Amino acid sequence: MAYDGSGFSGFAAQLQPEVRTVGGEITAALRKVLGHPVDLAVAGRTDKGVHARGQVISFDVLDGTDLATVEKSLLKMLGPRIVVSSLELAPAEFHARFSATSRLYRYTVVNRAVPDPFLASTAWWVADPLPLDLAGMRAACDPLIGEHDFSAFCRRPDPDADLTRMVTEARWEEAGDGVLHLWIQANAFCHQMVRSVTAVLVDVGRGRRNVADVTRILRSGDRAAAPSPAPPHGLCLWEVRYDGVRRG
């Protein structure tokens, strides 16, 4: 499934009915279509304002449920802001979150003097300096690859939480006209990790930090050592993989 995260308070449903979330909208729609309550599992609980192109959810249905009718009804009820692009039966043991082997995120930066109104809701406009040091930003991705404790880049909800993650890809792509994409893939991500990593890498591009600083921040395990996270609207959950099978 895919969605524009603008106007939603993240994915996870909230107890307050006035708080609009992606998960809350989907749960309500499924309840109407299926005629029974559902308990959603989700591959990545995106934050407020974060988008998704290849999100995956799972839930139980009764035997004999017409999935084609459910899919058509969800598109009519939720589109175009929330779109369920594919609906299929999965093995009973499948779980959208715990069965996933990796997630791929893309963060978009617009680095030019004049912003693009058509990218304003999906990209972070960085006008200074022009241009960012892309070579330095690419080199600064190297210390992130591998298995590390990402405590310095994550908001810690639980003081005893293990924030060790395996990052298998981190690279910058130049899309032209000042548009830059950070692609980062890991087995899992902790809260605000991609946005915090992006903020540090953009600081390298601005000349405020260097590659050694990225290594130092990573090894410190100190959340205060990293800058505030990049804005949420530039982030998109692009793809989720299950034993090598791509969804998204």
| DSSP one-letter string for 152-167 | GGS--SSTT---EEEE
pLDDT over 90 (residue 129): no
Let me know whether 74 and 9 are in one domain. yes
The residue among 51, 83, 115 that closes a domain is 83
Backbone φ and ψ for 24, nearest 5 degrees, come out as -65, -40
Residues 27, 132 within the same domain: no
Enter the DSSP assignment of 143. Answer: G
CATH of the domain at 45: 3.30.70.580
One domain for residues 24 and 107: no
- Of the CA atoms within 13 Å of residue 15, those in its CB half-sphere come to 0
- Whole-prediction pTM: 0.94
Is there a single domain that holds both residue 79 and residue 112?
no
pLDDT of residue 207: 96
pLDDT score recorded for residue 128: 84
Q: Is 92 exposed, middle or buried (0-12, 13-18, 19+ CB in 10 A)?
A: exposed
**What residues make up the domain containing 233?**
102-247
Same domain, 134 and 70: no
Distances (CA, A) of 81 to 43, 51, 85, 87: 19, 10, 12, 17
Regarding whether 113 and 78 lie in a shared domain, the answer is no
Which of the 8 DSSP states describes residue 228? P
Q: What total of structural domains would you count in the chain? A: 2
Helix (H, G, I), strand (E, B) or coil at 205: helix
Q: What percent of the chain has pLDDT over 90?
A: 90
Classify residue 89: in a domain, yes or no.
no
Active site residues: 47
What band does 141 get if pLDDT is binned at 50, 70 and 90? very high
Identify the domain boundary among 83, 116, 151. Answer: 83
Does 114 fall in a domain?
A: yes
Domain match, 143 and 183 both: yes
- Single residue among 50, 83, 116 that ends a domain in this structure: 83
177 & 242 share domain: yes
Domain membership of residue 95 (yes or no) is no
Name the DSSP letter for residue 62.
-
What's 230's domain CATH number? 3.30.70.660
Alpha helices in 79-189 (DSSP H): 134-139
Q: Is 45 in the same domain as 164?
A: no
One domain, residues 183 and 67: no
Q: Is the pLDDT of residue 105 over 70?
A: yes
